[in-house]
Amino acid sequence: MNKVYHRIEKIAGSVITIRASGVKNGELAEVTSRHGVSLANVIRLEDDMVSLQVFTGTRGIGTDSKVRFLGRPMQTAFSDALMGRIFNGIGDPRDKGPAFQDNMIEIGGPSVNPAKRIIPRNMVRTGIPMIDVFNTLVESQKLPIFSVAGEPYNNVLARIALQAEVDVIILGGMGLKYDDYLFFRDTLEENGALSRSVMFVHTAADPTVECLMVPDVSLAVAEQFALQDKRVLVLLTDMTNFADAMKEIAITMEQIPSNRGYPGDLYSQLASRYEKAVDFEGSGSITILAVTTMPGDDVTHPVPDNTGYITEGQFYLRNGRIEPFGSLSRLKQQVNGKTRDDHRQIMNTMIQLYANYKETLEKQSMGFRMSDWDGKLLRYGERFEKELMALAVNIPLEEALDLCWSILNDCFEPAETGIPTKLIDQFWPKKKADAPRAESARSGDGEGDETKEEEKIEEKVADSKKEKAP
């Protein structure tokens, strides 16, 4: 039944075109050339012309190479035995283990019925205050890490993977440097997490088309685990490479590009992958953390831009820290009301004050005189960055919240923070006794102390006014 075709009409980029009939859209084929055998899949039909993208690229393919259609779409094997194994983008082993041929599952399957989704409700604790306090990660969330090349995004990814309480970790690597691939493998292994991980890795040296398959294969496998009541964390790095691979194919296929050469369906293509993140009613879940590098640190670049519209927030990684501005977890509202009463308020107040601090910094850099208020903000911002933003900080949520209160207490008067009186009464550290010690330990600069004094006087004035008022 499977006819073999011997004549290739056109070879361009990773795409070959042949004349054939009875071929299905999306069907898989085997292309045999003098340089080896590769899989390919059908991406366009036009009368009797069939275009296929060749997984290993077209280098070495001759016009007389053999094409044999397999009558099935791209599939990948699934079983519990995948755990602890490492594969390439199309599911062939990259480690020395055996290949799997049984229980093949479809990749890039249909979307989950929105009516079968449930509202996410479980927080994923990471021990990173910038995530736990300010932008809580939630089970079944899809979140990218936006950063520029050179930032330690893979380290962050690995750290979250190790600390998050999940059953299965699936790593999809696209265009990874070989070193990064080894880093992930070794980190997971050293921390004993490899046995609950599956890795699908495409390195920068591998053929482009394989890169395109990584998210689909990873997510198809994740979906199967989730349906077996497992909580799955999928790490994808780097999605910009995936988008670039898509661009390459689209241009080869002479599609009209929409923005900076990317195909018009970039949004839909990214969405169909990210939307695989789900909490199945009565079953497991898939959480997706993906790295999107921003070429030139430009968030309006089509890849991060479209990603931002799809995902449920984003983390900005800049200068080795998760930036509070722009970083957002859209699902945090689902969980941070249940953690502690002060969580939401602290989150907003701390960021608002940090924004004020940034403004003050700007003023300072322009050489303006600093007011008392500016002095307080400067002190606050410094502590915020050192004690909360640094990536090395690893404390549980509750501890982090307490730390926030203590920083506020050391830097401001309650009224200056704009926190509702009710919460101030409940959470504002009562004893001011600790404050001087913290202050002297901090810097001991004279200006700071002066401000403190002035402030107290002002406070008295304000108090007396209040007394007069009623």
Partner 1 sequence: MEKNLGKVVGVNGNLLTVEFSQPVVQNEVAYALVGDTRLKSEVIRIRGNRAEAQVFEDTRDLQVGGEVEFTGELLSVELGPGLLTQVYDGLQNPLPELAEQCGFFLKRGTYLRALDGEKQWEYTPVAKAGDVLRAGDTIGTVPEGLFTHRIMVPFSVRGKVTVEEPIAAGSYGIDTVVAKLKDEQGKVREVTMTQRWPVKMPIKAYAERLKTEEPLVTKVRIMDTFFPVARGGTYCIPGPFGAGKTVLQQITSRHADVDIVIVAACGERAGEVVETLREFPELTDPRTGKSLMERTLIICNTSSMPVAAREASVYTAVTIAEYYRQMGLNVMLLADSTSRWAQALRELSGRLEEIPGEEAFPAYLESVIAAFYERGGVVKLNDGGTGSVTIGGTVSPAGGNFEEPVTQSTLKVVGAFEGLSRARSDARRYPSIDPLESWSKYPSVVEADDLAAGQQILRRGNEVGQMMKVVGEEGTSIEDFIVYLKSEYLDAVYLQQDAYHEVDGATSAERQRYVFERIVRILKTKMTTKDKAEARKFFQTLTQVTKDWNRVTDGSDEFKKLEKQIEQMLAEVTVHE
Encoding tokens for residue 116?
């079968």
Closest CA to 269 of 289, 248, 298, 243: 243
Among 34, 47, 99, 441, binds partner 1 (CB under 8 A): 47
Q: Are 88 and 206 in contact (CB under 8 A)?
A: yes
* Residue labelled with tokens 């602290």: 346
> What is the spatial distance between Cα 323 and Cα 316, in angstroms, rounded to a whole number?
5
Choosing from 234, 271, 289, 377, the residue that interacts with partner 1 (CB under 8 A) is 271
Q: Does 267 bind partner 1 (CB under 8 A)?
A: yes
Total residues at interface with partner 1 (CB under 8 A): 86
- Shortest reach from residue 167's CB to partner 1, in Å: 18
Find the binder of partner 1 among 53, 208, 314, 339 (CB under 8 A).
314
CA distances from 262 to 53, 56, 128, 295 (A): 18, 22, 35, 14
Q: Which of 275, 387, 402, 439 binds partner 1 (CB under 8 A)?
A: 275
Q: C-alpha dihedral over 215, 217, 223, 228, to 10 degrees?
A: -140
Question: Do the beta carbons of residue 8 and residue 67 sit within 8 Å?
Answer: yes
- Residue 118 phi/psi, 5-degree rounding, is -125, 160
From candidates 189, 191, 368, 437, binder to partner 1 by CB under 8 A: 368
Q: Is 305 in the site for partner 1 (CB under 8 A)?
A: yes
Where does this chain touch partner 1 (CB under 8 A) — which range of 52-60, 125-133, 249-257, 391-399?
Answer: 249-257
Residue 351 binding partner 1, by CB under 8 A: yes
234 Cβ contact list (under 8 Å, min separation 6): 170, 171, 172, 218, 219, 222, 276, 277, 286, 287, 288, 289
| Residue nearer to partner 1 on the CB measure, 154 or 285 | 285
Write out the binding residues for partner 1, residues 383-422 only, by CB under 8 A.
Answer: 415-416, 418, 420-421
Beta carbons within 10 angstroms of residue 301's beta carbon: 21
Establish if 295 lies at the interface with partner 1 (CB under 8 A): no
Taking a C-beta distance cutoff of 8 angstroms, is the pair 66, 32 a contact?
yes
Applying CB under 8 A, which of residues 5, 15, 27, 230 lies at the interface with partner 1?
Answer: 27
Question: Is residue 35 within the footprint of partner 1 (CB under 8 A)?
Answer: no
Residue 13 backbone class (left: φ over 0; alpha: ψ -120 to 50; beta: rest): left
Please tell me the distance from the alpha carbon of residue 200 to that of residue 177, in angstroms, as a whole number.
Answer: 14
| Binding flag, residue 309, partner 1 (CB under 8 A) | yes
Q: How far is the CB of 417 from partner 1 (least distance, A)?
A: 9
CB of 356 to partner 1, least distance (A): 9
**Residues 161, 188 contacting (CB under 8 angstroms):** yes
Nearer to partner 1, 81 or 305 (CB): 305
Question: Rule CB under 8 A: which of 117-136 touch partner 1?
Answer: 117-120
Q: Per CB under 8 A, which region of 3-11, 110-118, 234-242, 287-295 contacts partner 1?
A: 110-118
Using CB under 8 A, pick the residue from 73, 84, 295, 429 that binds partner 1: 73
Q: How far is the CB of 367 from partner 1 (least distance, A)?
A: 8
Q: Which is nearer to partner 1, 204 or 299 (CB)?
A: 299
Residues of this chain, 221-240, that bind partner 1 according to CB under 8 A = 227
